[in-house]
Amino acid sequence: MPSKWVPLEASPDVFNEWAQSLGLPEHPLSFQDLFSLDSDFLSYIPLPVKAVLLLFPSRGELHAAREKEEAEAPEWDGKDVWWIKQTIPNACGSIGLLHALMNLPDGALKEDSPLMKFKKESLKLEPSARAKLLDEADFFEAAHISAAQHGQSAVPEDLDVDTHFIAFIEGINGKGEKRVVELDGGRKGPFDRGDCTSLLHDVADIVRDKYIARAGGDINFNMIVLAGERQD
């Protein structure tokens, strides 16, 4: 396995190819661009929204704020959230995809697919053991390399990047309350971002307040949703 992977392009086409080759059916869910955080635009995103992926600039004030959050954050007290520690440099895009797909409800992935087989094997493992299992999984590296090669952007010469992918899903805490859960392989575990009344709208608020506002004018953001059928 290479010491550093080529970062994945933030492209729904790339993400759909990655996911569908490993077990996500073509219907009814797909990865789709999220071009605006305006509430009127959000209302046009087809339901259900099962996950939101965010690519952000992990540097400066924003990076410092997230490190402070990480140091002060309590452990997630909820249940049934699948999370894995990232141990492969530049694999945050594929880790984000895993976090989105592994937390889908039963039946959403093809039963005999590589993703479903990996999920079943990993459920009984602690996050560190999951990471080791993933490091040894041939399907993961092959899918990442294939997806990276099929992107539209040129492969960067310098593989040391300071942008980062994370995923947001809906989770249930120990009190039975719906919460927005941030899943980042670089954190110490699932991160509780607060009440979840509408995953998409709540994540939009979080991204505006906790990410864009702290980025010092840096506009290197990209968002993709895993949602229902397109309404083209």
Tell me the domain boundaries of the chain.
12-153+164-227
**What integer pLDDT is reported at residue 144 of this predicted model?**
76
Query: Is 92 a known active-site residue?
Result: yes
Catalytic residue from among 92, 99, 144, 196: 92
Report the pLDDT value the prediction gives residue 83, as an integer from 0 to 100: 95
Task: Read off the DSSP letter of residue 214.
Answer: G
The Cα–Cα gap between 103 and 122 comes to: 12
Catalytic residue among 99, 144, 164, 196: 164
Q: Mean pLDDT by 10-residue block, N- to C-terminus, for the chain (232 residues)?
A: 67 93 95 95 95 95 93 87 90 92 96 95 91 87 78 48 90 95 95 97 98 94 91 51
The model's pLDDT over 130-184, given as tens digits with 9 standing for 90+, comes to 999 988 888 888 887 887 776 544 444 444 567 899 999 999 999 999 999 999 9
Alpha-helix residue ranges (DSSP H) falling in the chain: 12-22, 39-42, 60-72, 92-102, 114-122, 127-135, 138-149, 199-206
For the question of residue 63 being annotated catalytic, the response is no
Name every residue whose Cβ is closer than 8 Å to that of residue 43 and which is 6 or more positions away in sequence.
none
* Chosen CATH of 12-153+164-227 out of 3.40.190.10, 3.40.532.10, 3.30.70.270, 3.10.129.10: 3.40.532.10
The Cβ of residue 128 has, within 10 Å, a number of other Cβ atoms equal to: 11
Do 210 and 33 meet the contact criterion of CB atoms below 8 Å apart? Answer: no
